């Protein structure tokens, strides 16, 4: 497999969930060998089960019911965005059930979102109004050029099948003085190195690319985005979600037992703050002179 970013040969890194992940020794980018049509994959992957605990998805245990924790994390993002844009139009890419669109509207933004999941978009439309939310992927949705002050991708960039193509399209949607915000996992983080194959971001096939700060910067700069601020955040998660991640991505038999004991009880909703900082968040401006 050739590296998507630099063109060098990628070497086998690990196999998980029946999928192989390859790693470039030059730029350190990692990629899942999907082996199936991406359009069919996203249609099937991001179904109801993705948000409601289907174990084979290795995703959310109950996205809607965990809204208090998810919203708490998202409010940190809006606080950072406000330092650069006090208002204006905002587009949330991969908006899921529309929680961040709701938060952005409450913070004074004219907010919109889209997601490839019919199930998620139906819920997001009920929450924010169907005119604000669309079903689709970056390469299929259509918005006027230079119509957004802020575009956000929270835990989305690693899901994209063709990130160069998608960055080009987002560039066209963003105003010349707008900002792009990307949050994704950091393969060079201490937790990624400590946990190895059990790291929560190593979830093939839903995660297709795996980045560090250096190669993500290269991606962004080559597509004419200039990073202006990097930071990390800890996350609030429910106990049941932590155990669910442990029994799926973490491949832990102990987590599986604890989930069976507590996952569907009131104790499972107990909020936990995990200051792991194994994710990275970057705020970028358009480099219109490039």
Return the pLDDT at 33.
97
User: Tokens for 160?
Assistant: 């994209």
User: How much is the mean pLDDT over the chain?
Assistant: 95
| Interacting residues of 281 by C-beta distance below 8 A, sequence separation 6+ | 77, 80, 181, 182, 183, 230, 231, 232, 233
| Interacting residues of 136 by C-beta distance below 8 A, sequence separation 6+ | 114, 115, 116
Return the pLDDT at 289.
79
d(CA 163, CA 157): 7
Return the pLDDT at 53.
83
Return the pLDDT at 180.
98
User: Kind and range of the H or E element at 10?
Assistant: strand 10-16
* Helix 99-106 / helix 67-82 crossing angle, nearest 10 deg: 50
pLDDT tens, residue by residue, 205-262: 999 999 999 999 999 999 999 999 999 989 999 999 999 999 999 999 999 999 999 9
Q: Is 201 helix (H, G, I), strand (E, B) or coil?
A: coil
Q: How far is CA 236 from CA 20, 189, 241, in A?
A: 30, 19, 10
* Closest to 90 measured CA to CA, from 47, 142, 132, 28: 132
Classify domain 39-286 at the CATH superfamily level.
Vaccinia Virus protein VP39 (3.40.50.150)
d(CA 132, CA 151): 14
Return the pLDDT at 212.
98
70-77: average pLDDT = 96
Q: What residues does each domain of the chain span? A: 39-286
Return the pLDDT at 41.
92
Return the pLDDT at 290.
60
5-10: average pLDDT = 97
Q: How many CB atoms lie within 10 A of CB 111?
A: 26
User: Tokens for 281?
Assistant: 């968040």
Return the pLDDT at 151.
98
Q: What is the pTM of this model?
A: 0.96
Least confident of 15-24, 192-201, 281-290: 281-290
pLDDT tens, residue by residue, 101-152: 999 999 999 999 999 999 999 999 999 999 999 999 999 999 999 999 999 9
d(CA 21, CA 44): 21
- What percent of the chain shows pLDDT beyond 90? 92
Return the pLDDT at 55.
73
Residue with tokens 């297709």: 208
Q: How many CB atoms lie within 10 A of CB 83?
A: 9
Confidence of residue 288 (pLDDT cuts 50, 70, 90): confident
Q: Is 92 helix (H, G, I), strand (E, B) or coil?
A: strand
pLDDT tens, residue by residue, 255-281: 999 999 999 899 999 999 999 989 999
């Amino acid at each position: 497999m050739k590296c998507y970013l630099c063109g060098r040969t990628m070497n086998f890194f690990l196999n998980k969930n029946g999928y192989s992940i390859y790693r470039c020794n030059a730029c350190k980018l990692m990629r899942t060998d999907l082996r199936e049509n991406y359009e069919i994959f996203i249609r099937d992957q991001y179904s109801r089960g993705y948000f409601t605990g289907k174990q084979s998805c290795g995703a959310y245990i109950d996205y809607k019911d965990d809204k208090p924790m998810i919203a708490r994390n998202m409010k940190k993002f809006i606080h950072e965005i406000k330092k650069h844009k006090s208002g204006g139009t905002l587009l949330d890419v991969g908006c899921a059930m529309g929680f961040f669109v709701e938060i952005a509207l409450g913070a004074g933004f004219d907010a919109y979102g889209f997601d490839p999941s019919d199930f998620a978009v139906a819920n997001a439309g009920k929450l924010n109004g169907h005119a604000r939310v669309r079903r689709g992927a970056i390469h299929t949705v259509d918005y006027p050029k230079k119509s957004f002050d802020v575009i956000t991708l929270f835990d989305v960039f690693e899901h994209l099948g063709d990130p160069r193509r998608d960055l080009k399209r987002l560039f066209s949607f963003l105003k010349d003085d707008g900002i792009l915000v990307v949050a994704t996992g950091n393969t060079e983080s201490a937790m990624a190195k400590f946990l190895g194959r059990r790291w929560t971001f190593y979830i093939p096939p839903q995660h297709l690319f795996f980045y560090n700060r250096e190669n993500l910067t290269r991606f962004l700069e080559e597509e004419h985005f200039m990073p202006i601020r990097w930071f990390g955040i800890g996350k609030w998660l429910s106990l049941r979600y932590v155990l669910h991640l442990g029994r799926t991505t973490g491949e832990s038999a102990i987590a599986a037992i604890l989930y069976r004991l507590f996952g569907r009880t009131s104790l499972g909703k107990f909020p936990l703050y995990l200051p792991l900082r194994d994710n990275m968040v970057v705020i970028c401006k358009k480099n219109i002179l490039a």
